[in-house]
Amino acid sequence: MRILLTGADGYIGAILGPKLVERGFDAIGLDTGFYRRGWLFDDRRTRPNVITRDVRQVSVEDLRGFDAVLHLAELSNDPLAAQDPEITFAINHRASVNLARMCRDAKVARFIYASSCSIYGAGSDQKTEESAPQPLTAYAQCKVLVERDVANLRDEHFTPVFLRNATAFGASPRQRFDLVLNNLCGWAWTIGEIRMTSDGTPWRPFVHIEDIADAMICALEAPLDAVAGEALNVGVDSQNYQAREIAEVVAGAFPGCGLTIGDSSGDDRSYRASFAKIRDRLPAFRCRWSVERGAEQFRRLFDEIGFTKEMFHAAPYTRLSELQHLRSTGQLSSNLHWTSSDDERAQMPSRYNGHDLSLSEIAVTGSGQAMEKAGSSNLMPASAAGV
């Protein structure tokens, strides 16, 4: 089965890509490369070839020959979306729906979309896939709109699946420290103290990125009648936590770490999710990572790589900071297109040896211009990237 993985060089993509290779899929990655300066550690896993292209610049012809698309390539969190809602809607909503529409027209059979439990927003009840969405941010609103619009594209030849991931955590070579558990682990290691600015009462479900990747593969392999057009919350009921409980878990994983709790932050987002449906529809899926294990993973990793404050605060590991850096230095335009003189090289050519080719066909040729491997010269660790 030939798979296109968008966002292959991102936080989750850096975990999912190797899993696809290890499972024997013929996988090709697609990524515009916003976050390639950040490579926190080498996990020595084989990754798919990655084509450097913005998802907004993909055509129907590019997609011919793929059996499935796993779509991760969006602007990835609430603060980033809040800074510029219009560009967030352009990429996360309109470009995602357009990609799905082109997949349908290109005869791609299955489209697996990384949605989010953040669409539930707030509420005291445990949210199921039938609960009414209450999106409180532009990021969550886009997820709701994509699910609505892509569901309407479904036909007998095109199957969308919507995986509503709980709040992600866990170590990745393409690390993010703008996620709750990851961020708290960084503070625990670098200053030996967790200082919560909120009272820690909001609820969130949590899921490790290894488990998110496994869920996407299960959705890829599942019988059509189990997943066609379905939305599935991704996580496990036992990992609905209040924020203060996550802080306590992290403090316990880092010996000598202090913990202080603040006042209410004014953030209204608070919800718990039910994960009964994914257990029913994807019986092969199981969450193997607890938050305790995730915190311990970070403690061991930080020790192994000599993690420092400078690494923790480096722009590539916080999505908003890195995009602000790329914009302020003139590398990205206001609509987040590359502006550098080598943009034509970065945006992969659509011809090879004089012949028009799709993304799938270009990947097969092995063109050095078209493909890049994680760990190549442009995938720089923080120390080499001067951050």
Q: Please give the mean pLDDT across all residues of the chain.
A: 89
CB within 8 Å of 58: residues ≥ 6 apart: 30, 99, 102, 359
Q: How far is Cα 61 from Cα 63, in angstroms, rounded to an integer?
A: 5
Domain over 2-174+206-239+271-288+322-385 is classified CATH 1.10.1070.20: no
Q: What is the pLDDT of residues 89-109, one digit of tens each?
A: 999 999 999 999 999 999 999
Arithmetic mean of pLDDT, 71-97? 88
Note the pTM of the prediction, 2 decimals: 0.90
**pLDDT class of 360 with cuts at 50, 70, 90:** low
List beta partners, residue 36.
none
Residue length of the chain: 387
pLDDT at 386 over 50: no
Q: What is the pLDDT of residues 177-230, one digit of tens each?
A: 999 999 999 999 999 999 998 899 999 999 999 999 999 999 999 999 999 999
pLDDT at 287 over 80: yes
For the chain, give every domain's residue range: 2-174+206-239+271-288+322-385
Lowest pLDDT segment from 150-154, 284-288, 381-385:
381-385
Residue bearing the bigger pLDDT, 355 or 176: 176
Q: What is the pLDDT of residues 9-56, one digit of tens each?
A: 999 999 999 999 999 999 999 999 999 999 999 999 999 999 999 999
Percent of the chain whose predicted confidence (pLDDT) is above 70: 86
Arithmetic mean of pLDDT, 58-65? 97
**pLDDT class of 348 with cuts at 50, 70, 90:** very low
The pLDDT, as a whole number, for residue 373 is 40
Q: What is the pLDDT of residues 251-275, one digit of tens each?
A: 999 999 999 998 876 667 899 999 9
pLDDT at 124 over 60: yes
The pLDDT, as a whole number, for residue 365 is 45
Q: How far is Cα 221 from Cα 275, in angstroms, rounded to an integer?
A: 19
Q: What is the pLDDT of residues 311-333, one digit of tens each?
A: 999 999 999 999 999 999 999 99
Percent of the chain whose predicted confidence (pLDDT) is above 90: 82
